[in-house]
Structure 1
Amino acid sequence: MTEVQKRKLIEVALPLEAINRESAREKSIRHGHPSTLHLWWARRPLAACRAVLFAQLVDDPSSHPDQFPNEESQAAERKRLFGIMEELVVWEKVNSQDVLGKARAEIWKSCDGNPPAILDPFAGGGSIPLEAQRLGLQAHASDLNPVPVLINKALIEIPPKWAGRPAVFPGATESQIHNWAGNSGLVEDVRRYGQWMRDEAEKRIGHLYPKAKLSDGTKAAVIAWIWARTVRCLNPACRIHTPLVRSWWLSKKKGQEAYVVPAVEHGRVVFSIGHGLANAPNKSTDGTVSRTGAVCVGCGDPVPLAHVRAEGKARRIGAQLMAIVAEGGRRRVYLPPNDEHQQAAAVARPVDVPETDLPEQALGFRVQGYGMTRHADLFTNRQLVALAAFSDLVEEARERVLADGIAKGWAAGDPLEGGGAGAQAYADSVALYLGLGVSRLADIANALCMWENTKTQVRHLFTRQAIPMLWDFAETYPFGLAAGGFGISLGNLLKALAEVPAQGHPVVKQANASSRHYRDVLVSTDPPYYDNVGYADLSDFFYVWLRRSLGNTLPNTLGTVLTPKTEELVADPFRHGDAGSAERFFEEGFERVFARVREGTPDGYPIAVFYAFKQSESDDRGEASTGWETLLEGMIRSGWAVTGTWPIRTELGNRMRGIESNALASSIVLACRPRAESAKTTDRRGLITVLRGQLPEALRKLQQGSIAPVDLAQAAIGPGMGIFSSYAHVAEPDGSQMRVRTALTLINQVLAEVLTEQEGDLDADSRFALKWFEQHGWAEGQFGSAETLAKAMNTSVAGLERAGVLRARAGKVRLIAPEDLPDSYNPARDERVTVWEIVAHLLRRLEDRGVDAAAQFMAEAQPYVDMDAVKELGYLLFSICDKQGWAPQALRFNNLVTSWSDVDRAARTVSASRPVQGAFDFGTDE
């Protein structure tokens, strides 16, 4: 008889509330966060990764019936483990040895003192390997792309290599008392050699960046030069080089309003600076460019985008200085352009800069149609000069580190890529961080950076996973103390480096996930997201500068001209010819990957796979997400069964965009084990029967875990796929194997049935209100229709009016909207309390006065209504609004449910502090 495997915590329960809260909060944490070491796209929050790794390794109490023989004892033990996890996910405790010690003790206990090594074969930004290292596990990371390979080396592999070693920069050890614990010596050297680079670069090219002359005759450092791209007007009577400008505004800060004022003088556009609101641009006069084209500032004639594109391809798009932003005291000073600053930027294009080609077409790219066809085209000539200078200095700094290390008594040894542990390998390591600093600088020192007129600062290029076209752009000062300065770029990197664990013996390698081995490692991974991010094409932006800075230092990692593309697991229709071919490539690739993972996964542990997606498609078989579908198809066909699914909120919540565009605010974390050899078969009817039997309870558990309504439909796919994937074969009526797409459609159908059945938990008045809302929202309807519906629901319009659910006037009926409800409502004095009323009043208090007011009302209402039914109604109302396309109303109900845990927790505190009244003490009306 086969031994029953112990279930891990991730297969039974997770403290989702704490994980979701900290994962979302982490998005706003910057200083010292590892993500600031270098940009990578779609990183998973560290909190979620720590929690998933812990739950992937720690036994669920139900696996130890000898210690926890009943549900009560198991629940108590689970609560204790949850307490550890709730501490573990808090950012402020990320390096607490007490908290980490508790977590490690549980992991080692569940793993009999020998936990498996953790591997992320799609390591990306390194969140999972980093958190495995933090938990004391043997961390392995690999990626096909050399940029994330370097990021992972910088995060997890290099710091422990030099832990405890003092800095080698001359005078560093003498200038301060330091015990050089952890990687502090490495951090100090990167800081000092980086400062040397900055100072040396200023000596060489500082003359290209003149200071700004203020009105009082003094000079100030420039924060940014604001440029406008220009094209020649088509009007033969005009023919000026007209600026292409998104917005004339420089500052919209109250009391500091400033904007560019264009004028035409002697056939040339000139710019001045305006202040105040009297003559400020409005919606109709702000900028010259719209989605359909531009307008000439001289004659007012249209400038079609087709003309702009043609001029770009002919290399005739120019750039004219439009404004100068300087630091004047404690506020920005906005100055008009002048010849000195215009000419200072008029330098020749360097000959040794990245002239590699951009892809002709690729996910997220929009610039090629305007003549930007090479990586060097994304920068001004002055920016190219600056980046080339800093890049050259990386190699010079490396030589200095090597010489200084040898002078300190270090043996030269082998290089870093050869496994060296002496001065040469250390110099390579310092150079790697300096090279990443130059690469980071490129993100904000390019000709596609926007000037943010609300925050009055430069915004870096990659605010999203794309290289879009930008008309007016901001050029930064590389030696300053604002965003765009090399010192600032390197300083943020160092804050992250100072906080990494720097322990153990992690392994980072460049490898293809579909061909590497998986022996003796447990996979926990965050794979690519179908066609949402074109990682390789985007990362070439950084790679070309990393290769220029570090090509001689790390020749094995940076040996190719650009990053590998052919084997990258992304469904890019531009690369594969069409959407169908891209989908097949993605699916077959994942099948190969997870087939290999299945061969090497250690017994007794589930693998964990993060997946987030937002692309939906509809056809005659229903609606599904192509990325999600193809991932699952590949995994199931390679022999995996889903044993647990959890929605982990990894984005800032309650986003209108998420509701309007069907974008997920959660990742789905799958726990999977190899499907049993004895797995049964079934047919379509059998699958539907099991889904209808098991999905209702699974859905209730998701709702009790406060999953956002906007995510519910996607998250409920997990339990359904758990059922589907447990079968070796699900037969269609014609005998063929059921595809994941069909299974997903059936799961969604059963989900809709379950949500409809939940209406049965409501009172008659609330069922009427729900049906009426579905037809009319908050608008009026005919009295006769309302009366007919009321009778069908076993209630009446008159009774509903007395209950405070609706108003009937002059043959019209409408539901009372939350904002129209009275403040004085008290459920204790209501003889006809309805679930509908409680939802509406809760919503009003939450929106008007916040969580505490909503909690006070919830505590008052709890004795008179089933709060589970109230919460279910919130989900139902969101579902109606979502189907009807009522995005603002959908957002309201989404906010109510996502705030439920906070409101409920505060309500329990209110109830606990309230004195107990007599059973009939309801007060008196006055």
Structure 2
Amino acid sequence: MPPKKKSPVPCPNLHPLPDKAQPRLIDKGILHCLASQGGARERYGKGKTPHTIHVWWARRPFSAMRTLVFASLDSGESPKALSLASELGRLPVSESKDAKAAAKMLSRQYAEPPRVLDMFGGGGAIALEAGNLGCRAFSLDSNPLAVFIQKSLMEFIQEAGGCPPDLLKESGRRVLERLERETAPLFPMRNSQKGPVLAYFYTYETACPHCGWKFFLSRRPWLSRKKGREACLEFHPGEDHANWKIIHPSRDHKPTSLWRKTGAVCPVCGKVCGSPVFSQCREVLTSLCRRGNGKGKDFEAGSPKVLAEPALIEKMESAVLAYLGQELPKTKIPKWSGIFNPAIYGMDSHADFLNPRQRLVLLLLIKSLRTEYDALVQSRPEAVARSMVGLLSGLVDQLIDWNSRLSMWIPQNEQAGRAFCGPGVPMIWDYVEIDPLLNGPANLWKKLDRIVEGAKAIPTFSMAPDVRLAAAQNLPFGDGIFDAIVTDPPYYDNIFYSPLADFFYSWKKMVISALSSELAGFDSTESPRELVASVRRHNSKLGAHESYCRELTQALCEGARVLKDSGLMSLIYSHSSLNGWDALVKAFRASPLLITSVQPLCIERKARPRGLASGAVNTCLVLVARKSSKPKPVQSPSELAARFEDIAGCGFARDLLSQGWPEEDAGLALFSQGAALLANSSGELIGNDHEVLALIESVVASVLPAFKISRRRSL
């Protein structure tokens, strides 16, 4: 007989439930087993969830959030609850018989539909899944772009009575066919006898301030690194300026780099030229990409002859801006070294990060979407028009993210890469421009297919989630009305949402203004109540840290105010630095919430580029907390250390390892238990929280040597 499968070790119980709290399924402590597997699987799916429609950052898998919401509400008394929760975590789509069974189970436990609040709504996964489970869901965000995304996924579709996929695809095809016709003059090589040009590659030329020699600033010269198809740009001096050609070297070829820490180096006089200025550089088309006869793509040298005339582009841009009644965005890209670098080199505004042809194609797409909305309003109810175009506005996201001066080429798979995957935006000195209406990299036809597939996964709600533009620090609700708060706040300084969102909002609001005018009247998405530890905003590292602690404390206190005495808060959090955890400890300590357990979720893609490059954590933690009227207990560092050592020896971390969790992630799951113990203490005898957190880290490292917490301050 095969060996009997071992039951998982539950997460430690950190504090008894307060007197008025009601036990929930999540208190069994095995959320990491119920939700992680399905959540991780969903991360690798393409075009199967509503996340594929719009661009937002750090969004959680729907399957994992579905399980989390259910576990935060269910009493856990039914024997079927655990198996049902497990099935919810495995499913990659939002609407299913299991989700309906879970909704029915919850309806038997509550006199009226349970109320669930997400105080930091972001991309809307939590509220969507709460609505999917029959709850009365509420979602807030202080960012108008996030609110629009959520409304398009939940409110607009509900108001329209659903989203027929055939109608959506038909409407999207009209938008793209119109765009294809209007952009034809901009792409002379679209109908080339040699085959259409799928992509255009650019770099920049600058003049040496010492000798006057003109040379290229290329940093990514590879065109293809596929085995047997290697292609690379090679730059070399000519008579009066630099030249280039395409070579086909071996895979271990190392192109010569002219870049040093202090700036670019002139290849002729050998002197450092300092940091180049974008506006003083000449943009040069170096090469073209066509579809190959076999597998892969063919590359050839570029020439200005294949581009549209600048005068034509300027004339067409003026005409489309007049049609839209708009001007080019004047908002500024933040000058923020190491986080948002383009402005450091003189790429100043949200009109500059696209070249003239990319910008015109984007404007023509916006025009086509507005035209489609006006046509739909004439033939169908306005709610249907708003629903269709709200979803199709995801096409705008595709162009901004994959077709700008900040979009790089990935030679390993011969594809265009995202420009705005976060957490910041680097300056790119070699970028790719695509023809988005051809069947090539990052094209809009494939994006339309993903939008349609994503829309199919949006459930039909018994009650549409209530989405509002508001701040978590000042909740627009009365006292004690929510059965659960399930929320995923910004993690200290992991991602700076509003500067990223502004690259999209500065353009997308030209569409939003027709669909939801109250969300289009802002110059920027930045709000003074945005929860972030930002040195740029607060002028000092200490000021950034104190502001995050203060604002998170206020949000937790507001959450406790609107939560029922019997309810709970499930708050998702993760950070790799001591300061990030110190902020969480201080905020919970100052709130009337006690953390009863911390349960890890391993739902990130292991192979995401930033994770590979930086060793970023793959695990997030769910802090389960209850309201308590009693003061936090007074505990000494030695008492906390003794309690944590007991937890470290209970086998929980070793069980995670046996399930295949990486040692660093198991270490973070264990470390978070100690941080929660510290947050549950009054701090009266603690002294320095950093010292206690460092002690907790040392205990974790004795069990899991690969684990380490960084000592950096806020960015």
1:194 corresponds to which of 156, 162, 172: 172
Aligned partner of 2:550 in structure 1 is 588
Q: Pairwise mapping of residues 606-755 of structure 1 onto structure 2 (< 5 A)?
A: 606-614=568-576, 616=577, 625-653=578-606, 663-677=616-630, 680-692=633-645, 694-696=646-648, 699-706=650-657, 707-727=661-681, 729-732=682-685, 738=687, 740-748=689-697, 751=700, 755=702
Residue 511 of structure 2 corresponds to residue 513 of structure 1 = no
Shift of 1:639: 1.1
Report whether the alignment pairs 1:319 with 2:292. Answer: no
Write the distance in 2 (CA, Å) between the matches of 1:586 and 1:139: 26
Cross-structure match for 2:437: 479
Equivalence for 2:11: none
Inter-CA distance 221–13: structure 2 relative to 1 (3 Å threshold): same
Read off the aligned partner of 1:51 and give its amino acid letter.
T
Residues 518 and 597, structure 1, Cα contact 8 Å, conserved in 2: no
RMSD: 3.0
Q: Compared with structure 1, are the counterparts of its residues 441 and 118 closer, same or farther at alpha carbon in structure 2 (3 Å cutoff)?
A: same
8 Å Cα contact 1:353-1:388 kept in structure 2 = no
1: CA distance, partners of 2:209 / 2:521: 47
1:740 and 1:672, CA in 2 relative to 1: closer, same or farther beyond 3 A? Answer: farther
Which residue of the partner structure matches residue 125 of structure 2?
127
Matches within 5 A, 1:252-651: 252-275=225-248, 277=250, 282-283=253-254, 285-286=255-256, 288-289=258-259, 291-296=261-266, 299-302=267-270, 304=272, 306-308=274-276, 311-312=277-278, 315-330=279-294, 331-342=296-307, 344=309, 347-348=313-314, 350=317, 352-361=327-336, 364-405=339-380, 423-504=381-462, 505-519=464-478, 520-521=481-482, 522-614=484-576, 616=577, 625-651=578-604
Give the direction of change, closer, same or farther, for the CA distance of 1:883–1:362 in structure 2 (3 Å limit): closer
CA contact (8 A) 2:36 2:89 kept: no
**In the alignment, which residue of structure 2 is the partner of 1:827?**
none
Aligned-partner SS, 1:532:
coil
Distance 1:637 1:40 in 2: 31
CA contact (8 A) 2:236 2:243 kept: yes
| CA 1:639–1:305: 2 relative to 1, 3 Å | farther
TM-superposition CA deviations, 1:122-175 (whole Å, max 9, x none): 111111112212222222211000111111112222222223xxxxxxxxxxxx
Aligned CA distance change for structure 1 residues 264 and 742 (closer, same or farther; 3 Å): closer
Rg bigger for which structure? 1
CA shift, 1:482, in A, is 2.2
CA contact (8 A) 1:571 1:585 kept: yes
How far 1:467 sits from its partner (Å)? 1.3
Distance 1:686 1:454 in 2: 53
Q: Helix, strand or coil: the match of 2:348?
A: coil
Amino acid at match of 2:264: A
- Could you tell me how far 1:46 is from its partner in structure 2? 1.9
Q: Would the aligned equivalents of 2:186 and 2:307 in 1 still touch at CA under 8 Å?
A: no
CA distance in 2, matches of 1:532, 1:739: 24
Could you list the per-position Cα deviations for residues 888-916 of structure 1 after superposition, in whole angstroms to 9, with x for gaps in the alignment?
xxxxxxxxxxxxxxxxxxxxxxxxxxxxx
In structure 1, C-alpha distance between the alignment counterparts of 2:527 and 2:29, rounded to whole Å: 39
Query: Matched residues, percent identical?
Result: 24
Distance 1:152 1:571, change over 3 A: same
Match of 1:30 in 2: 46
Match of 2:149 in 1: 151
Does residue 183 of structure 1 match 2:182?
Answer: no
Distance between the aligned counterparts of 1:7 and 1:653, measured in 2?
A: 34
Mapped to 2, the partners of 1:332 and 1:376 lie a distance apart of: 31
Letter paired with 1:158? F
Distance 2:359 2:252 in 1: 34
Work out whether 1:81 is the aligned partner of 2:81: yes
Query: TM-score, normalised to structure 2's length?
Result: 0.87
Counterpart CA distance in 1 for 2:176 and 2:190 is 21
Tell me how far apart the structure 2 counterparts of residues 471 and 32 of structure 1 sit (CA, whole Å). Answer: 34
For residues 513 and 158 of structure 2, the distance between their equivalents in structure 1, rounded to whole angstroms, comes to 24
Q: 1:59 to 1:368 in 2, by over 3 A?
A: same
CA distance in 1, matches of 2:370, 2:93: 38
Aligned partners of 2:219 and 2:488: how far apart in 1?
37
Check the 8 A contact 2:168/2:388 in 1, yes or no.
Answer: yes
1:125–1:213 Cα change, 3 Å: closer
Pairwise CA distance, 1:558? 1.1
Q: Which residue of 2 aligns with 1:852?
A: none
Question: Which residue is 2:188 aligned to?
Answer: 210
Relative contact order, higher structure (CA 8 A, sep 6+): 2
Distance 2:224 2:678 in 1: 56
CA distance in 2, matches of 1:40, 1:493: 14
Instruction: Give a deviation string over 1:445-503, Cα, whole Å, max 9, x none.
Output: 21111111111111121233221111111001021122343333333222211211132
Shift in CA distance, 738/523, structure 1 to aligned 2, threshold 3 Å:
farther
Q: Structure 1 residues 702, 266: closer, same or farther in 2, change over 3 A?
A: closer
Per the TM alignment, residue 549 of structure 1 is displaced from its structure 2 partner at its CA by 2.6
How far 1:353 moved relative to its partner? 1.8
CA contact (8 A) 1:363 1:533 kept: no
Secondary structure, in 3 states, of the residue corresponding to 1:82?
helix
**Partner residue of 2:101?**
102
Q: Would you say the 8 A contact 1:251–1:453 is kept in 2?
A: yes
Any gaps of 5 or more consecutive residues in structure 1?
62-76, 164-181, 406-422, 617-624, 756-875, 886-926
Once the two structures are TM-superposed, the CA of residue 207 in structure 1 deviates from its matched residue by 1.0
TM-score with structure 1 setting the length: 0.68
Q: Distance in 2 between matches of 1:194 and 1:659?
A: 36
Which residue is 1:870 aligned to?
none
Trace 1:805-844 onto structure 2 (pairs within 5 A): none
